[in-house]
Structure 1
Amino acid sequence: MGRGFIEGQVRLTGTPPPPALLETTPSVAATCGDTVPDRSLTMGGEGALAQVVVALADGAALPAEGVNSPPALLDQKKCSYEPASLAARAGTSLEVRNSDPVMHNVRAVAGTQSIFNVAMPLEGMSLKKPLPASPGILQVKCDVHPWMRATVRTFDHPYFTSTDAQGRFRLEVPEGTHTVTLWHPRLPEASQPVTVKAGETIRLEQAWAVGELR
Structure 2
Amino acid sequence: MNLAKSCNSVLVCFRLLCFLFACFLMFPISATAAERWGDLKGRFVYDGAAPKPRELELNKDIEYCAPKKPTSLKLLVNKENNGLKNVVLYLYLSKSDPVPPIHPDYEQTADSNVLLDNIDCQFQPHVTLLRTSQTLKITNSDDVAHNTAAFLARNNPFNAVTPIGESVYKNLESGERLPVQVSCSIHPWMQGWLLVQEHPYMAVTDADGNFEIKNLPAGEWTFQVWHEAAGYLTDVTQNDEATSWPRGRITVTIANEPVNLGTVKVAADKFTP
Pair in the same fold by TM > 0.5: yes
- Structure 1 equivalent of residue 72 of structure 2: 38
Displacement of 1:98 in angstroms is 1.4
Q: 2:197 aligns with which of 139, 155, 160?
A: 155
Q: 1:62 aligns with which of 80, 95, 100?
A: 100
Given that 2:154 and 2:175 are in contact with CA atoms closer than 8 Å, whether structure 1 keeps it comes out as no
Q: Tell me which amino acid in the other structure corresponds to 1:185.
A: E
Q: 1:53 aligns with which of 68, 88, 93?
A: 88
* Structure 2 unaligned blocks of 5 or more: 1-34, 233-247
Given that 2:40 and 2:212 are in contact with CA atoms closer than 8 Å, whether structure 1 keeps it comes out as yes
Displacement of 1:47 in angstroms is 1.4
CA distance in 1, matches of 2:68, 2:114: 29
Displacement of 1:26 in angstroms is 5.7
Displacement of 1:39 in angstroms is 0.9
Structure (1/2) with the larger strand percentage = 1
- Structure 2 equivalent of residue 127 of structure 1: 168
TM-score (norm: length of structure 1): 0.85
Residues 84-163 of structure 1 aligned to structure 2 (within 5 Å):
84-90=126-132, 92-111=134-153, 115-123=157-165, 125-136=166-177, 137-163=179-205
RCO greater where, 1 or 2, for CA within 8 Å and sep 6 or more? 1
CA distance in 1, matches of 2:255, 2:116: 35
TM-score (norm: length of structure 2): 0.68
RMSD of aligned Cα (Å): 2.6
Computing the radius of gyration over CA atoms, which structure comes out larger, 1 or 2? Answer: 2
Q: Tell me which amino acid in the other structure corresponds to 2:134.
A: T
- Structure 2 equivalent of residue 5 of structure 1: 39
Aligned residues: 212
Deviation digits for residues 59-97 of structure 1 (CA, Å, limit 9, x no counterpart): 844213636268632221111112222322246322212
Displacement of 1:156 in angstroms is 2.6
Given that 1:28 and 1:102 are in contact with CA atoms closer than 8 Å, whether structure 2 keeps it comes out as no
* Structure 1 unaligned blocks of 5 or more: none
CA distance in 1, matches of 2:176, 2:83: 27
Displacement of 1:100 in angstroms is 1.0
- Structure 2 equivalent of residue 191 of structure 1: 249
Given that 2:128 and 2:195 are in contact with CA atoms closer than 8 Å, whether structure 1 keeps it comes out as yes
CA distance in 1, matches of 2:170, 2:250: 33
CA distance in 1, matches of 2:91, 2:68: 41
CA distance in 1, matches of 2:129, 2:77: 18
Residues 65-76 of structure 1 aligned to structure 2 (within 5 Å):
66=104, 68=106, 72-76=114-118
Given that 2:116 and 2:123 are in contact with CA atoms closer than 8 Å, whether structure 1 keeps it comes out as yes
Residues 12-31 of structure 1 aligned to structure 2 (within 5 Å):
12-25=46-59, 27-31=61-65
SS at match of 2:118: strand
- Structure 2 equivalent of residue 208 of structure 1: 266
